[in-house]
Structures are given as structure tokens and as C-alpha cells.
Amino acid sequence: MRFAIVGAGAIGSLFGARLSLAGHDVVLTHRNRSIVRTIQKNGVSLRELDGTVSRVRVPVRKGPAKLSGTEVLIVAVKAYDTREVAESYRRLVPLETTILSLQNGLGNVETLRSRFRNDILAGSTTEGALQLAPGSLTHTGAGSTIIGALQPRNSGKASRINIAFNAAGFPTKTSSNILGVLWAKAIVNAAINPLTALTRLPNGALVKNAAIQEIALRVIDEGTLVSRAARIRLVGNPRKLWRRILLSTKTNKSSMLQDIERGKMTEIRQLNGAILSHGKKTHIKTPVNGILTKLVLALEESLKMTTPKA
């Protein structure tokens, strides 16, 4: 298959390298010219869980780029960049191209559907990856990926991508209730990411701390109540999923912790902030999600004040 991936960060580069190794035609795009040049020069260096290192020559282009002939466009940017990506690519993506959102948070699919007439698929992955430098990453945790169509007529396309992902070494399955998958993942991430960002602890440490675990479970319970009020049927038990993910990614740094360490914006608005927003709409109180949202936003602001300007 011919894939284009918008976003050459950890997840985008991981999927790009693996799909390329599996024999698919892949091109990465990124808006930062310096990052594009680095990957063009050095390729993508991928260290796997067993310690083996592969250097993969994946074509990369400065985005936004015209994507003629692309069968599947994977959107792998941060959730807060989805609107900008949709605006900049809306006239560059052929109508026959299927768009797959492989992102964290809530609202991405809705944003893409509002800007494109293409068939839109949604996906969720628990694969762990740490980007050490542009084009250099470590696969830090084996996970699972779920993709699904928002409309039944697109289920065949989801099945084709499912086959490609599995062949590339990503355990993948399809779901007929992908919104339930996305909400469950967002609720679990809301109970992991901000807590790691605020405490600077790796994932596994959350399970061992009773006080943190109490906060996390309250976040999950609030999110579950909001999802019910929004008439979302969650896929899986978020409490069990929370524990399973943390135990399988003990040494991982969450994406939000990585962002804080780099002084970058986080996806708190699309996680806890989204639960808070949906709670207001459905008249469900979400005080713990509200507090975590404010704390992480304050942390972001403090980092802006202390990070030297380039």
C-alpha cells in the first residue's frame, strides 16, 4: 500500500519505519525544514525492544505537501495541531485517499470530518516510542492498535490497513465501535499523562503509589460518567486498561512528560480538558479532571517563563 504520514515524531516515525521495512511505499511529511533535512540525510534509526537497531531510508518531504497517489494518509501529529493540518492539507489530499487519525485525545476525528470529504478512519495505539532526536527513536513498549470506520461502508478499508499493520509487526484489530475505543483510551490517558507530567515519574511508578492511584481512579470514574452521559459505549473497562497499560510500559515516559521535559505544549486540553468540556455540556461534574487541567496548563506557562528564547 502507499502510505503518507503527517508528523515525523515518535509514533509517525515508528509506523513509517516499520511499514517501510514491511515493503510498503511510505513517505513522511513534517512542517519543520530542519527535521526534514536531518531525516533525509540520516534516515530513521529505530532501536527495537530486543536492542537491535535498524536504519531505514524513508522518503520525507516538507509539509504541507501534495500527496498524489496516496492510498492512506495517517495523521500522527499532536492533537492540538489537527486543525492546522486539516486546513493546510484539505486541497492537497486526493478524494480517493483514506485518512486515518492515529492520535491521542478527543476531537481529532470530528475536526478531520469537518474539513475533508474523504473517508475518515480512526485509530488508537498503545505502542510506546521515545524520540531521542529527529529520525532517531526507541521502541519502548509493545502495545496494540485498534482501527475502525465511522461508517460501515468504510470497514473494508479498515481491514486492509489492519492487514498492513499486522504485517509490519503491530498487533492490530478492527472495531465496529471505534468511538468507544477512542473514549476509553482518552479516559485512561487522562489518568496517566498529567500525573506523570506533574510528578516526573515513569508509568510504572503510578501503580505503586496509593495516593496517585486514588487520584487516577477518580479521573477515570469522572470520565466514565461523562461518556455515559454523551451516550458513548466504552470498549473495555478503563480501570483495568489503566493498570494493564502501566504494567506493560513500566519504564516508559508518557508523551506528556516528554513534552514537559522539552518545554513544549501538551495535549492536556484534548484529554482532561476535553472530559471537562464534555462534562459541562452533559451537566456532569469533573472536579479532578478540572484541577489536573489547570495544574498542567500552569506548568506549561511556567516553562515558557523559564525556557530561554532561541
Neighbours of 32 (CB within 10 A): 12
Catalytic residues: 185
Q: Distance between CA atoms of 77 and 104, rounded to whole angstroms? A: 9
CA angle 189–190–195, rounded 5-degree value: 100
285-309 in b/e form (b: 16+ CB < 10 A) is ebebbbebbebbbebbeebeeeeee
Which amino acid is present at 230?
A
Q: Distance between CA atoms of 39 and 268, rounded to whole angstroms? A: 29
Q: Residue 122 in contact with residue 150, Cβ under 8 Å?
A: yes
Q: Distance between CA atoms of 71 and 237, rounded to whole angstroms? A: 34
Contacts (Cβ under 8 Å, ≥6 apart) of 225:
279, 284
Q: What is the DSSP string of 215-236?
A: HHHHHHHHHHHHHHHTT---SS
